[in-house]
Structure 1
Amino acid sequence: MLTDCRRWHRSTRSALWGLLAIACADGSPAMAGDNRVADRRPGTGESTRFAIDASSLSGALIQYSQQSGQPIVFSDRLTRHLPATPLIGGYGSRDALDMLLEDSGLDWELIDGRIIAVYRQECDGQDCDSPRDTVSNNPVYEPGIEETYVYGSRLTGSRIRRTDYSGSAPVDVFRSPDIELSGAQSLGELLRFVPAVVGNSTSTAIANGGDGTASVTLRGLPASNTLILINGRRVANDGLAGESVDLNSIPPAAVERIEILKDSASAIYGSDAIAGVVNVIMKQDFRGLLAETYYGETERGDLETRTNTLQYGTGLPNGSLFLSASHYEQEPIFSRDRAVSASADTRALGGTDLRSSATSDTRVVLADGRTLIADGAGYRPAGPDDLFDYQAYTTAVVPLERTSLYGNAIYDFTERITGLVEFTYLETEAASTLAPTPVFTAFEQSDLTISADNIHNPFGEDITDARRRLVEFPERRQLNESEVIRFVAAVEGLYDDWNWDAGYTWSRSEASQITRNLVNADRLQRALGPAAGCLGAEIDGCTPVDLLGPAGSITPEQVDYIRADGRVSGYSELSSISFNVSNALLHLPAGRGDVAFGVEYRQESTDKRPDDLLASAATLGATNFEATRGKRKITEFYAESVLPVWRSPSEAVTLHLEGAIRHSNYSDFGDSTNPKLGLLLQLGSELLLRASYSRGFRAPSLNELYEGETEEQAFIDDPCTRPGSAAVLPGCNGQADPSRNQFLTVQGGNPALEPETSHGYSAGFVWTPAALGSLRLSLDLFEMEQEDVVSSSAQFIVRQNALYGSFAEDVTRDEMGNLVLVRATNINVGQRLVRGADLGLTYHFPRDRWGQFSLNGNATYLGDYRARTDAAAPEIDFAGTFRDEASEGLGGIPQWKWQLGLRWHDNRWRASADLHHVSSMKEQLPGTGGTRTIDSWTVMDMQLSYTFDVLEGLRLSLGVDNALDEDAPLAASAFNDNIDGRTHELKGRYWYTRLSQRF
């Protein structure tokens, strides 16, 4: 297989292995000595800088081969159950290999003076996995031997294969052992604690306004600004005309590692990579059968989670096969089951009262201005506590069920050409629970006036403002289903000195959403109208509805008449053909130079179809919208190069220049050309300085371009609700009702949108001091400027209208000054400036009789997050603040977010302890204009595992998340559960166990 490295699977004798390896490894360094690697002990000769952190010995040996440039052969049967000792620092090749094989029962020697062969130290005749030839005395290898031809691996953010592990921009790598130690059962759950991930990412922790999908938001930019790849290839977005890929559509059990590039990469990958790239690498090099089961639940007995996984991998005569099947179930957490989220009234906790004015007993405003509420014995004046607490009904974490299948097959057509076929099928089901449907007759798109002669109207006048929570209805249920299919066929190989690959990718995401127990607005309008138009079900098919009475006044017959369900379905589809070539120019004066070229043709399409009720804005309690349909074609060309600019006579100091450029042609808006430049200055073996500049762009999504008009009740802070402001602001014609915080908003697409553009800068260093052994420190400063941001901000329009009287044609108020309707169409008006720093730490303590300890840490500091909705609007610094997405905010943007992990392993034992920290944030209290502080939050996750020797390959893991049971801090302005559910977790202490058996 010609991928990250070249591995051949053959059942030949050692002589053929030696000839094959020599042929493949032409140009790799020769090794001195008869049977051992040349002695390069520190202090006695040249050393190699190693960064080996694989969990298995198989992975560690492959990393050793990549980083040392030495071809190696070994039996996966010998190594697959053995752990590896992390190795970071400068070592001689011999010393490094000896350290990797220490206490493993394995040894090594050279074949034909060039290829390292790993074998078992002791041999008992036929029981030895690597018997020796009686004539040559060389090891004889069985099927399953792996030979690695090292010509480099692709690092996310580059199309060039490299043997080093550092580029001009920082890349975080989460390998399979890291994923396992996290205990996460979904990629969204794993990535939420990454320090660079802040803002409005979605997950199943977002119930009201969520749909069971998960996204990632690097640097606090929207999810559409982070490109999601699988094995370096694009994937279709979420099926409901989504702006990004649903991470829940990627089967985590089949993931080998995740690489996160924290830098703009439009020059390499094209659109959507303004904030960075998340590249999910799936498993390939897997041998044997794995059966695994996982169970977890919170200390309070909810959020029960089960995962069952089967995986099988085998070597074929000319290739390999890998299959993975997994089933995942997650039960819910209800808002009422946690103290912080039990009530929308958080005044006792230091927050505010966000209960709804749509009460179970009807709240009515009469023509004389009086506000009354039904109490079963008539009507009384409404008081400040006559509000509805919807938190008693809602799910805080959505129950989810996921079934996934993944497989790949690799076939070596020749020694230089390899084919790959990859397939994914995944189904998900999510079901969230919401409070019964509210009715605000004065603020719906339909005219819901209760006629004076309606048989249930006791006031003898038309009622235009009645607010009622329909508790006679069952609670609303939102059911989301999705089906994702992905297929890849690729061929790659070597021709002379050129590495090439050609591939076809097709993926499709289909999704549907059903919201039950809504209100049919057309029927309700008729049921509230003049008596002559609604005489009874037996007479004219219409049942008058008692919307003005106390809770229980709406009879089952009335419920049946106006109750409705809303359904929407859609798909996103992507297909692409690509061709890439790369070459190492070995004869440049300063060393090896690399170039890569490529072309990609891509088609994208989406279709979101509401049923007739939703499309005609005829429901209450759900989002009404028109259909969205769009498609486009994209052709892209790119070139990339890494060139050695200068090398000192001692070769200890080198300067490399990275350059890339990509030209993109879109059928719907035109062309975009984006370059990137980077510098790498290596100062000896200890210090690497790096810097980069990149220009990025994001093509407006098909949804942003072609979305039909969408109607929703958006959370808006209306300045006209404050007494002191309403009297003086030019856009206010009276004090609006302060008890309302949701207002009818209509949004829509704009085919005239232009791409968002950005300029990104970064500079930093990687320091690996030899005097401190295996310490590795990194610091990178970054700045990103973004212009022409696509915005559809009803909040901005309302604020500008109130303060300055602008956007008068988009804001409608009634005669009392209340907001009736806000129109907000997508436009290119936004600007952002983000500055900060990324820090990284890795240290492996010297191994002693207590085992091996390692320390890993990452942190992100956001010093500035300046944004403006329009060039004429004031610039606001959001760094260190929280503003909920439901109020058109950016979510939580903490200035500091870090994680620090301690790892330990000793023979069959492994353990980890991880701290996750989010700094405090400021929030604005709704309706008051005041601010408060959301407390900082630190949690500890722990895990312990043991591999049994009674049954080889059996491993038991026990873990606890949030071991100290740290409560999520109150966010008084949060729409969901009074916390920032995208940053903090509501679950509290969570226990889990995992049992796996590998054969």
Structure 2
Amino acid sequence: MRSNIKTKCGTLLGSGSLVALCLPVAAMAQDAGAGIEEDAPPAIIVTGSRIRGIEPTGSPVIGLGREDIEASSASTTTELLSELPQVFNFGATDASFTSANNQNANRTFGTGINLRGLGTESTLTLLDGRRLPAAGTQSQFFDPSVIPTMAIARLEVLADGSSGIYGSDAVGGVVNILLRKNFDGAEAMGRVKFADGFEEYQAGLVLGKTWGTGSIMVAGEYNDRGILFAADRDFYTDDLRPFGGPDLRSANAAPGNITVGGVTYAIPTGDGENLTAGDFTAGTRNLQSAYLGAGALPAQERYSAAATFEQEITQSIEFYAQGFYAERDGTLAASALAAQFDVPTSNPFYVNPGAPGERVTVSYSFVNELGFERNPSSQQAYHITGGLNAQLGADWSGNVFYAYGHDKERSFDRRIDNAALTAALADPDPATAFNPFSSTGNNNPATIAAIAGGSFRVDTNYGIHEYGVSVDGPVTSLPAGEIRLALGASRQEINFQDLAPFQSDFDRKINSVFGEVFVPIIGGEGPELNLSAAVRYDDYNDVGDTLNPKFGVTFRPVESLTLRGSYGTSFRAPTLSDTGLPFNQYTQFVDGSNVLRNVLFLRGGNPDLQPEEATTWSLGADWQPDTVPGLSLSVTYYNVDYTNRIATPGNDRLALQKPELATIVTLDPPIDLVNEIVAGGLFSAPPAAPEDVYAIVDGRKVNLGANKTDGLEFIGSYEGFTDWGSWRVGVNATKILSFDRTIISGTPLRDVLDTINNPASFVARAYAGAEVGGLSGTVFVNHYGSYDNDSVTPIQDVPAHTEFDLALRYTLEQPFAFAENITLSLDVQDIFDNDPPYVQNGNLAFDPNAHSPIGRTIAVGLRAGF
């Protein structure tokens, strides 16, 4: 029985692999300068179990250590984790702001981890086993990029449902970030990354000191990324004609367009004064790109720091503390503000190119008056933990801790003030009235300032207090080894404030108790069989209680082969944002004819929401044959049945086109119903006139969804040694077998695998590399499988996409008396600068969820240890 996990196993993939299966020895690693601390404790907690010294029974843990982090060209922790095929780019990302998967709610450009395609809100992220303050505009996820990479000892990814151990959110799995400890010395790094129209700068420093009874580590990092403009990428456009698609540029243009009796007339270029009906031609339109002046990626400037401290108080009691602080400022480059409105006859510039008495509607861009929009955002996050570890005797250990985390997010979008616009249109004074027929921007500055006086702000505060106690140790001995037990209890107190556009303040209290037992059934020199069982009870003061078990089994018929399995239930409690106040918007959706329609969009929370629930199980095998040293193979089958999912089916800009969403769309709504909703308030921008509302779309959160998925995950590597050095090859691949989903209660599950805005069935990352002396090089192959774009008719076949990366490292060992080593790095991502395949993705010519808009990127770096 391998209770002391230091004694067996190791990293399956070699140095620089970026993908390693973290078996016990990898979990033991502690930094000591540039090496590994050999005096690490004999038994520690590994992700997936609360019993010290026990490897997770039945569940594999994918690990990334310091060598993997330093070998990666990733700038942030999130980017590093996103290189794993188990992590899908659906949900919170700073590269996509479509309505798919609620990405348009990510107003502060955070990035989250989405294991197995189940959503960022269904992946639990921990810092050394502790919960972190939720981030994102709606506090749905934690953004790992706030942790400086210089501070991280390793990352452990448990792609398995684990609410029986960790509680809410651990449906898709768990990401555990473990900070460096026992680090003695200093290390600095700097890197410059650039591509066509894009650049990024990164610098970091870590300092550490160890002494006989303790250690301290402090790390900081700075990252500055510029805006990547849409104009710098041919595929970032809504004019799809060069790709064989339609022209989806907007009629909200400068000069604009007049619609009278269903007929459109392009407004001629000029000052818009003294126009007559003869100046217009029926059936003409001016068009303007919605991406004119906009960015494909926002600018990001990040400051982050992290620290750890450990000190023995007595031989049996140790005090520890750790935490991080991070700030992020971003700027989203957006196109000019635009609006569609009626022009009354009182307007001194009024002109009607159609039949007299008909309604005159103008579609207009304010680009000449206001220029392009630059929307700022910011995040401030911090988390501190302090506690005591105690040796209680008889090999029992105890822990008591307190943790507090806080996340503050702000963003600002300038909006059109409809009331001011209506007043300026009705103003009979030509000196102060708004002239919508001009294309020269010659309107009164004070009038324009009033019209652009509206705003949409994100202003949230999220705080979490957590404290708890736990004990673990042996209960009794069996012939195969010791039965070990862990017991604990904790309490969380959460506060969420949403201060814009409407103020709300919510609190939640959660009391939890948990237990886990490890039972060795067969052990000794021959076969080995271990069982584990965990259970956790969580009692919420607002959404009820839940009990979730998890069971695991590991069987080793021979030393080189491990067979494993797990079963459990998981849940995700609705966040305080999910249950918070609703709000409504007056905006535009695209109908079945690709025409923008004015809709009353009902959004926000639902106080009646209940927790999501899931049943998960997995089977797997790990093989390291003695006859082929250096070969490691691992395969896992998983199955997830996810019900009662919180969904926002109406948060879909194509809702007017989809028959399955007809139940939440009210076309041509009665004026009385529109007036009733408007009178209820909670509007970021009410309609100028009730008759302008083409439809009411209900996009509020509801427990309607269900998700069933299963698949295979494969990790393989081989490392060989020769007289001239070493070489390595490996692969990490995910093959999803099914991904069935429904977002409307009562409708059958639909297979959405290999469709746009859903997971591709096959994603893989392979590598081949070699090391000769101080020089190492690795070539990576990233493959994203083909899928169907079923958002268009006929369905578009999107081909598979393969990209190649290169990582070169040259290390000088102790080149100077004061330096341990200096490593020079050169990284090239997307070596051949392949454009992503054409996808008619709404009004965009590619799919940012499947492919990066950056293209070939070159990074040059330096890392030095002292």
Residue in 1 aligned with 2:450? 561
Residue in 2 aligned with 1:287? 184
Cα–Cα, structure 1 residues 995 and 974, in superposed 2: closer, same or farther, change >3 Å?
Answer: farther
- Alpha-carbon deviation of 1:357? 2.5
Cα–Cα, structure 1 residues 187 and 53, in superposed 2: closer, same or farther, change >3 Å?
Answer: same
Residue in 2 aligned with 1:221? 118
The 5-angstrom pairing of residues 721-740 of structure 1 reads: 721=592, 738-740=594-596
The 5-angstrom pairing of residues 530-545 of structure 1 reads: 531=428, 535=429, 543-545=432-434
Residue in 2 aligned with 1:631? 507
SS in 2 for 1:773: coil
- Alpha-carbon deviation of 1:574? 0.8
User: Aligned pair 1:895/2:754, yes or no?
Assistant: no
SS in 1 for 2:420: helix
**Kept after mapping to 2: 8 A contact 1:198/1:892:** no
SS in 2 for 1:770: coil
List per-residue Cα deviations over 1:83-106 (Å, max 9, x = no partner).
x9xxxxxxxxxxxxxxxxxxxxxx
List per-residue Cα deviations over 1:46-97 (Å, max 9, x = no partner).
x9655587869xxx9x9998999xxx9x9x9xx8446x9xxxxxxxxxxxxx
Cα–Cα, structure 1 residues 809 and 943, in superposed 2: closer, same or farther, change >3 Å?
Answer: closer
1:960 pairs, out of 825, 828, 851, with 828
How many residues end up aligned between the 2 structures?
817
The letter for the 2-side match of 1:989 is R
- Alpha-carbon deviation of 1:973? 1.2
User: Aligned pair 1:995/2:859, yes or no?
Assistant: no
Residue in 2 aligned with 1:945? 809
List per-residue Cα deviations over 1:848-885 (Å, max 9, x = no partner).
12211122321111121111112322432111111xxx
Q: CA RMSD in A?
A: 3.1
List per-residue Cα deviations over 1:567-597 (Å, max 9, x = no partner).
4322111110021111134512332322111
Residue in 2 aligned with 1:398? 298
The letter for the 2-side match of 1:812 is P
Cα–Cα, structure 1 residues 790 and 551, in superposed 2: closer, same or farther, change >3 Å?
Answer: farther
> Following the alignment from structure 2 to structure 1, what is the Cα–Cα distance between the partners of residues 661 and 223?
53
SS in 2 for 1:253: helix
SS in 2 for 1:671: strand
The letter for the 1-side match of 2:473 is N
Cα–Cα, structure 1 residues 712 and 525, in superposed 2: closer, same or farther, change >3 Å?
Answer: closer
2:251 pairs, out of 349, 354, 357, with 357
1:177 pairs, out of 47, 67, 75, with 67
- Alpha-carbon deviation of 1:427? 1.0
The 5-angstrom pairing of residues 134-149 of structure 1 reads: 147-149=39-41
Worse-matched range after superposition: 591-600 or 947-956: 947-956
Percent identity reads 23
Answer with 1 or 2: which has the greater Rg. 1
**Kept after mapping to 2: 8 A contact 1:909/1:944:** yes
The 5-angstrom pairing of residues 901-940 of structure 1 reads: 901-926=767-792, 929-940=793-804
> Following the alignment from structure 1 to structure 2, what is the Cα–Cα distance between the partners of residues 238 and 202?
10
TM-score for both structures, normalised by structure 1: 0.77
SS in 2 for 1:392: coil
User: Aligned pair 1:304/2:170, yes or no?
Assistant: no
Residue in 2 aligned with 1:653? 527
Residue in 2 aligned with 1:781? 637
**Kept after mapping to 2: 8 A contact 1:838/1:858:** yes
Residue in 1 aligned with 2:323? 423
The letter for the 2-side match of 1:196 is Q
List per-residue Cα deviations over 1:620-656 (Å, max 9, x = no partner).
xxxxxx3343210001111111212334xx7421222
> Following the alignment from structure 1 to structure 2, what is the Cα–Cα distance between the partners of residues 353 and 630?
46
- Alpha-carbon deviation of 1:776? 1.3
The letter for the 1-side match of 2:644 is D
Unaligned runs of 5+ in 1: 1-26, 30-46, 85-144, 442-448, 538-542, 616-625, 723-737, 883-890
User: Aligned pair 1:157/2:82, yes or no?
Assistant: no
Cα–Cα, structure 1 residues 224 and 715, in superposed 2: closer, same or farther, change >3 Å?
Answer: farther
SS in 2 for 1:147: coil
Cα–Cα, structure 1 residues 424 and 80, in superposed 2: closer, same or farther, change >3 Å?
Answer: closer
Residue in 1 aligned with 2:606? 750
> Following the alignment from structure 2 to structure 1, what is the Cα–Cα distance between the partners of residues 777 and 495?
46
Cα–Cα, structure 1 residues 989 and 67, in superposed 2: closer, same or farther, change >3 Å?
Answer: closer
**Kept after mapping to 2: 8 A contact 1:261/1:278:** yes
> Following the alignment from structure 1 to structure 2, what is the Cα–Cα distance between the partners of residues 28 and 932?
54
Worse-matched range after superposition: 902-911 or 630-639: 902-911
> Following the alignment from structure 2 to structure 1, what is the Cα–Cα distance between the partners of residues 24 and 572?
38
> Following the alignment from structure 1 to structure 2, what is the Cα–Cα distance between the partners of residues 549 and 782?
61
The letter for the 1-side match of 2:361 is D
> Following the alignment from structure 1 to structure 2, what is the Cα–Cα distance between the partners of residues 800 and 970?
22
> Following the alignment from structure 2 to structure 1, what is the Cα–Cα distance between the partners of residues 588 and 392?
58
Cα–Cα, structure 1 residues 663 and 246, in superposed 2: closer, same or farther, change >3 Å?
Answer: same
The letter for the 2-side match of 1:508 is H
User: Aligned pair 1:593/2:483, yes or no?
Assistant: yes
Residue in 1 aligned with 2:684? none
> Following the alignment from structure 1 to structure 2, what is the Cα–Cα distance between the partners of residues 742 and 247?
38
SS in 2 for 1:158: coil
> Following the alignment from structure 2 to structure 1, what is the Cα–Cα distance between the partners of residues 92 and 48?
25
Worse-matched range after superposition: 212-221 or 233-242: 233-242
Cα–Cα, structure 1 residues 313 and 854, in superposed 2: closer, same or farther, change >3 Å?
Answer: same
**Kept after mapping to 2: 8 A contact 1:426/1:485:** yes
- Alpha-carbon deviation of 1:311? 1.2
The letter for the 2-side match of 1:408 is T
User: Aligned pair 1:328/2:328, yes or no?
Assistant: no
TM-score for both structures, normalised by structure 2: 0.88
> Following the alignment from structure 2 to structure 1, what is the Cα–Cα distance between the partners of residues 426 and 25?
80
**Kept after mapping to 2: 8 A contact 1:322/1:409:** yes
Cα–Cα, structure 1 residues 239 and 224, in superposed 2: closer, same or farther, change >3 Å?
Answer: closer
> Following the alignment from structure 2 to structure 1, what is the Cα–Cα distance between the partners of residues 40 and 147?
29
Unaligned runs of 5+ in 2: 99-103, 672-689
Cα–Cα, structure 1 residues 550 and 48, in superposed 2: closer, same or farther, change >3 Å?
Answer: closer
> Following the alignment from structure 1 to structure 2, what is the Cα–Cα distance between the partners of residues 591 and 214?
44
- Alpha-carbon deviation of 1:800? 10
> Following the alignment from structure 1 to structure 2, what is the Cα–Cα distance between the partners of residues 158 and 910?
36
The letter for the 2-side match of 1:670 is G
**Kept after mapping to 1: 8 A contact 2:788/2:798:** yes
User: Aligned pair 1:168/2:58, yes or no?
Assistant: yes
> Following the alignment from structure 2 to structure 1, what is the Cα–Cα distance between the partners of residues 358 and 310?
74
- Alpha-carbon deviation of 1:840? 0.8
SS in 2 for 1:161: coil
Cα–Cα, structure 1 residues 816 and 678, in superposed 2: closer, same or farther, change >3 Å?
Answer: same
> Following the alignment from structure 2 to structure 1, what is the Cα–Cα distance between the partners of residues 182 and 778?
25
**Kept after mapping to 2: 8 A contact 1:199/1:222:** no
The letter for the 2-side match of 1:415 is Q
Cα–Cα, structure 1 residues 599 and 696, in superposed 2: closer, same or farther, change >3 Å?
Answer: same
Residue in 1 aligned with 2:145? 248
> Following the alignment from structure 1 to structure 2, what is the Cα–Cα distance between the partners of residues 714 and 287?
58
**Kept after mapping to 1: 8 A contact 2:82/2:89:** no
> Following the alignment from structure 2 to structure 1, what is the Cα–Cα distance between the partners of residues 667 and 129?
43
2:840 pairs, out of 972, 990, 999, with 972
**Kept after mapping to 1: 8 A contact 2:667/2:695:** no
List per-residue Cα deviations over 1:966-989 (Å, max 9, x = no partner).
2222221156x5322233111111
Residue in 2 aligned with 1:984? 851
Residue in 2 aligned with 1:687? 561
- Alpha-carbon deviation of 1:155? 2.2
> Following the alignment from structure 2 to structure 1, what is the Cα–Cα distance between the partners of residues 710 and 190?
43
Cα–Cα, structure 1 residues 811 and 746, in superposed 2: closer, same or farther, change >3 Å?
Answer: farther
> Following the alignment from structure 2 to structure 1, what is the Cα–Cα distance between the partners of residues 838 and 450?
41
The letter for the 2-side match of 1:418 is E
Cα–Cα, structure 1 residues 155 and 462, in superposed 2: closer, same or farther, change >3 Å?
Answer: farther
List per-residue Cα deviations over 1:892-932 (Å, max 9, x = no partner).
41110011122433332232221111011111344xx3211
